[in-house]
A = this chain, B = another copy of it.
Amino acid sequence: MLKPLGDRIIVTVDKQEEETVGGIVLASNAKEKPQTGTVVAIGTGRTTDDGKVIPVSVKEGQTVMFDKYAGSEVKYEGETYLVLHDKDLMAVVD
């Protein structure tokens, strides 16, 4: 099991459907779209200088939206995950 440290969040990234016109795959748009994923593990939060821990803003199981280039891809037991910092998450998809 992977347990993220600090304010890190581990997500499985949703597959993005490629836009097709009559079965032909279109080249990606110039403006990069953010991605969505499902939170599989969360860190305990960021520790401030007072020793206080600020919890992360999402929970396991939530669908979150984040910038395409945010985070680090990690592989663990054959699965691919993305490790993000809490501040990299833009929105929760409800």
Contact = CB atoms under 8 A, between A and B. Distances in A.
A55 B63 CA distance: 23
A92 to B, nearest CB: 5
Q: How large is the interface on A (under 10, 10 to 19, 20 to 34, 35 or more residues)?
A: 35 or more
Interface string A4-31: 1110101000000000000000000001
A50 interface: yes
Contacts of A75: 33
A75 B34 CA distance: 8
A18 to B, nearest CB: 14
A49 to B, nearest CB: 4
Given A2-B92, A83-B91, 14 more contacts: A2-B65, A3-B93, A4-B90, A5-B57, A5-B64, A5-B89, A5-B91, A8-B90, A8-B91, A33-B73, A34-B74, A48-B49, A48-B50, A67-B72
